[in-house]
Amino acid sequence: MNQFPHDFIWGSATSAYQIEGAHDKDGKGPSIWDAFCTIPNRIKNGDNGNVAIDHYSKYKEDIALMKSQGFKAYRFSIAWPRVMPDGKGEVNEKGIQFYSDLIDELLANDITPWVTLYHWDLPLALQTEEDGWLNDSIADRFEVYADLCFSRFGDRVKNWITLNEPWVVSILGYGQGAFAPGRKSNSEPYLAAHNLLRSHARAVKVYREKYAHQNGAIGITNNCDWREPLTDKPEDKEAAERAMLFFLGWFADPVYKGDYPAVMRERLGERLPQFSEEDREMVLGSSDFFGLNHYTTMYAANTDAGDVENDIAGNGGISDDQDVSLSQDKSWQLTAMDWAVVPWGCRKLLEWISARYDQPSIYITENGFACDDKEVNGAVDDSNTRLSYYKGYLTACKEAIDNGVDLKGYFAWSMFDNFEWALGYGSRFGLNWVDYETLERIPKASAIWFSQVIEKNSLDS
Ligand code: PNW
């Protein structure tokens, strides 16, 4: 009953800035995250990714751990400024060598690489000289960078993700200013998002035109919570749907339907850019699969225009633009980041995606639980926290599959504890605990449980 499809992909995920360290080694250029971390009071405890878990030196050890735990796939990202220090022009061959070696080591251990091209560490020069994602020309830059990656790694990498969570880049980076580049605006998020989508599509176009012989797949990964209507009132049901469209429809509708959701157009007017005919065609159909990062659920209720006080950006978008108020149920367990544990929200989200976008193949490219783990006598017991979260969410995934959702794979976030962006090293997501002094890795109860699940391809253990 708890058996997953025989070809279901079991993986774990990380990103470059969160684990690699070696921030200025072997010719790497600075990224907007290297710079953002030097501004006082932006990152909890003044943490940064300079060393992180030093995956750059320890990647072989890390891959051995993945192999011993049974993972068959590994999602990581390439740091653009490691392979192109200025984001354009010169290529850093030592950076290329690192990823090439990493890929070879994975393949030698029968682990399939899933490579994200952009997980937020934009080359700093593209920000200071060209305004990052606000400039149309970022699509030209991204295309050249993507082309470089396909040409150097595409003989061995068959699964590509262009962008990780353009919603986070837009809302947290350009709306709330909580993430790099730290901008606060109620219009820039929509422009950044537009250029993110155009850039994604340009990378896909070059991949399909020049690298079809590599026989790989390429797509985009979006993040979305589930929004459950607070009451049965029609206005709350409509508010929940509106919240979904402002969150996920914003990025998925252009790819699957050719334009932003109508409700966004109605409410945003001129702040929402228009696709040129050429861009619309390029974006439409530009994903071979539906990449989804999912963590939590909130209730959504309608508010009347102007009721929402936070006029910059609330969780799920820019609140004023949506007239949605969000809340949590008091009975829900919360993670250290106050994200509620609601497995049925995961099932409902998968079913919503399947219905709205005509049953795409979906990969959950992130799902996980943050808490303040402690090491006791060389072991970390996360059985009542992370482990029960994974059991609940994977059960929900299985129910969605049984209900007809084409869910083809699942990547746990994260393989290791790592640098959790503005929250620094305090919030641990890893299946493997990392001692940040000695950089020793210790498997947690959840990692041991995953090994059994993967071996049996079933949740019964
Ligand atoms: C994702 N939100 O970030 C990222 O892809 C990971 O790098 C990160 O470590 C992980 O989830 C856990 O945070 C998100 O505010 C950051 O809704 C913020 C949000 C969602 C995802």
Q: For residue range 87-103, what is the model confidence (pLDDT) as tens digits?
A: 999 999 999 999 999 99
Band the pLDDT of 306: cuts 50, 70, 90.
low
CB-neighbour burial class of residue 272 (10 A; exposed 0-12, middle 13-18, buried 19+): buried
Q: How many distinct helices (H) and strands (E) make up the chain?
A: 17, 13
Contacts of 399 (CB under 8 A, 6+ apart): 347
Catalytic residues: 165, 366
User: Three-state SS for 120?
Assistant: coil
pLDDT value at 461 more than 80: no
The stretch 164-189 carries a mean pLDDT of 97
Given this model, what pLDDT does residue 307 score? 54
- 9-456: which CATH number, 3.30.830.10, 3.40.1710.10, 3.20.20.80, 3.40.630.30? 3.20.20.80
pLDDT value at 308 more than 80: no
Say yes or no: CB of residue 302 within 6 Å of ligand 1: no
Among protein residues, the one with the nearest Cα to ligand 1's atom 2 is 168
pLDDT value at 59 more than 50: yes
Instruction: Among 413, 416, 423, 427, say which to mutate for ligand 1: greatest number of ligand atoms within 8 Å of CB.
Output: 413
Band the pLDDT of 77: cuts 50, 70, 90.
very high
Q: Which atom of ligand 1 is nearest to the CA of 18?
A: 7
- The answer, as to whether pTM is greater than 0.85, is yes
Answer whether the bond into residue 343 is a cis peptide, omega within 30°: no
Among protein residues, the one with the nearest Cα to ligand 1's atom 19 is 168
pLDDT value at 314 more than 60: no
Instruction: Provide the percentage of residues in the chain whose pLDDT is more than 90.
Output: 96
Among protein residues, the one with the nearest Cα to ligand 1's atom 13 is 420
Q: Which atom of ligand 1 is nearest to the CA of 418?
A: 9
Say yes or no: CB of residue 164 within 6 Å of ligand 1: yes
Distance CA(436)–CA(48), nearest Å, equals: 12
Stated as kind and residue range, the H or E segment containing 361 is: none
Contacts of 131 (CB under 8 A, 6+ apart): none
